[in-house]
Structure 1
């Protein structure tokens, strides 16, 4: 089973590139953002909790995120592998993911970090907000999300670097060029 973490700040292109990777490698995409939005749109009790946190630009607590992710993996027992998008966001989540996958006889093959600077992120998300009007793309919430990434989430990278699993890819440029670089990483496995 091939499992990858696609890592990067909000607006780095994780969703766009994930879809291309799914189409090419037949992996299951698990985006915590998509899971959160589904719970929110279905107005589940979890969705209401998540909605309040996201609207305030905060991260969802680890125990909620991990439980949702594990539930999603369990729904796909025949999967060739998974692309984890937007998870893990903390070292505790990374350790929990490793332990969960180990219990299933598998592991993360590689972490692919899309490297995009803050100016580019701000431009991309402003454009995405015009097109989709996502609540979490509003300017005040966006800055909180970017700050969260660069002050907290970024610390997950050394965790995977210590395991020799970290691969950095330039996330600025032509979508297909970036995809080709991602495929070079995936094809190693």
Structure 2
């Protein structure tokens, strides 16, 4: 199973990816985690990414794709993987499709976790309070959600047009949401 989980910040992607990893026995791949690992390991891509981040810029799609390609070459992804929150824009979706085509590993499912905006704001505010993050105030959260909607809505449309997108209600008990995802990916 090769799966992409999409959803705004606070939608439960990371939580459900962790649960799906156990259920499906496939690795959970987060580009944020990949980026941090490459920088920590001092790889060539990690050095390039660190230089970009140290300059206050966003890491390019090419660097992220290179890290993802290296990760997908590892043996533990032979039976599939869960991509958490990637791709975030249509250019990344196209590049991912090309990469997976070259690797002869097409995606099996793309799941969009749908959660109402006000609940996302509540979830993130609660998470921020628990973790002591002052930057997760309602205004900044709404701004991040707007950026997500502006850049990722086209990705959702991209996969929907291909007929590969499953929309899943991300509200409810963790087990209920997991069960909905499992039904969606087994269609």
TM-score bracket for the superposition, by shorter chain length? 0.7 to 0.9
Structure 2 counterpart of 1:114: 113
- Report the Cα offset of residue 116 of structure 1: 0.9
Structure 2 counterpart of 1:127: 126
Question: Alpha carbon RMSD of aligned pairs, Å?
Answer: 2.5
How far apart, in 1, do the equivalents of 2:140 and 2:39 lie? 17
Structure 2 counterpart of 1:146: 145
- Report the Cα offset of residue 41 of structure 1: 6.1
After superposition, give the CA deviation of every residue in 1:35-88 in whole Å (9 maximum; x if it has no partner).
Answer: 2344566685324634765xxxx8643122212211211223652101111100
1:24-173 residue pairs with structure 2 within 5 A? 24-39=23-38, 45=47, 46-47=49-50, 49-50=52-53, 60-76=59-75, 79-133=78-132, 138-139=136-137, 141-173=140-172
Structure 2 counterpart of 1:7: 6
How far apart, in 2, do the equivalents of 1:7 and 1:163 lie? 16
Contact persistence 1:114–1:169 (CA under 8 A): yes
**What TM-score do the two structures reach when normalised by structure 1?**
0.84
**What TM-score do the two structures reach when normalised by structure 2?**
0.85
Helix, strand or coil at the partner of 1:156: helix
- In terms of Rg, which structure is larger? 2
How far apart, in 1, do the equivalents of 2:76 and 2:108 lie? 18
* Alpha carbons of structure 1 residues 172 and 123: separation in structure 2 relative to 1, 3 Å: same
Helix, strand or coil at the partner of 1:152: helix
How far apart, in 1, do the equivalents of 2:30 and 2:129 lie? 22
